[in-house]
Structure 1
Amino acid sequence: MPTARTAVQGQRNEDDELARHLDWADEAREAASIWMAAYQQKIAAYYNRKVRPHAFKEGSLVLRKIFENTAEKGAEKFQANWEGPYVVSKANENGSYHLQTLNGTPLLRPWNVANLKQYHQ
């Protein structure tokens, strides 16, 4: 059974230990944050080294990505992932393109370059 003096001394040691661990936790969190930022920069540099920007000219033939909400019902994973070809009718500066079908009917909205790929005949 602890005496009053040893109980108070034990409480002080626990408080000091807790304060040291809290200081260490802040330092560890900051070190991990710095390491994570450096890691993300390295990954981005590696990725960007291999990425080629896509740019389509007016009149280019492209395929358009099919999204799940526009896919045919029941086709599931055996359905094609791309549809087209479409003709690029206008290229915007922000990376979006206005498309039209081969017979000249324009599509309702512009499409981002991430959802298009070159059509090879």
Structure 2
Amino acid sequence: MDAVIPTEIGLPTIRTEAGWQDDANAELGRNLDWADEVRETASIRMADYQQRAATHYNRKARPRSFKSGTLVLRKVFENTVETGAGKFQANWEGPYVVSKTSESGAYHLQKLDGTPLLRPWNVSNLKQYYQ
């Protein structure tokens, strides 16, 4: 025995298609009305997350600053390294004396004999030298 599906259930009619289309248009209109609210909620949630992440990071971060005359070590980069130094070279070189600080937070250094270095250095590439 074969099962027979009635035609009004198996095949959509023009009347049922138009009803589904009207429902879809109404739902799309409601979604468009909620889009601004959803966007605002997401931006508030994102700002809260960024604030909590910054607070967590800044809890243990200590700002570094050096005064003139302080002895510091300078980080060694690929372009400042001696040729052929190899894997076991020093990561820091110096000590250098902080000669002056600029407004942007860069530090002008000089060697212990008083000859200045060519360019200023950022505080992230310096660390204090303890004798």
TM over 0.5: yes
Residue 15 of structure 1 aligns to a residue whose secondary structure is helix
Instruction: Give identity over the alignment, percent.
Output: 69
Pairwise CA distance, 1:59:
1.5
The equivalent position to 1:100 in structure 2, one of 80, 102, 110, is 110
The equivalent position to 2:48 in structure 1, one of 38, 41, 57, is 38
- Which aligned runs of 4 or more in structure 1 are off by greater than 6 angstroms? 73-77
Q: Could you say which residue in structure 2 is the equivalent of 1:17?
A: 27
Pairwise CA distance, 1:63:
1.3
Residue 99 of structure 1 aligns to a residue whose secondary structure is strand
- TM-score, normalized by length of structure 2? 0.73
Q: Could you say which residue in structure 2 is the equivalent of 1:60?
A: 70
Larger Rg: 2
* CA-to-aligned-CA distance 1:76-95 (integer Å, 9 cap, x gap): 76544322221111122332
Residue 43 of structure 1 aligns to a residue whose secondary structure is helix
Q: 1:74–1:8: structure 2 CA closer, same or farther, 3 Å change rule?
A: farther
Aligned residues: 121
2: CA distance, partners of 1:28 / 1:72: 57
- TM-score, normalized by length of structure 1? 0.78
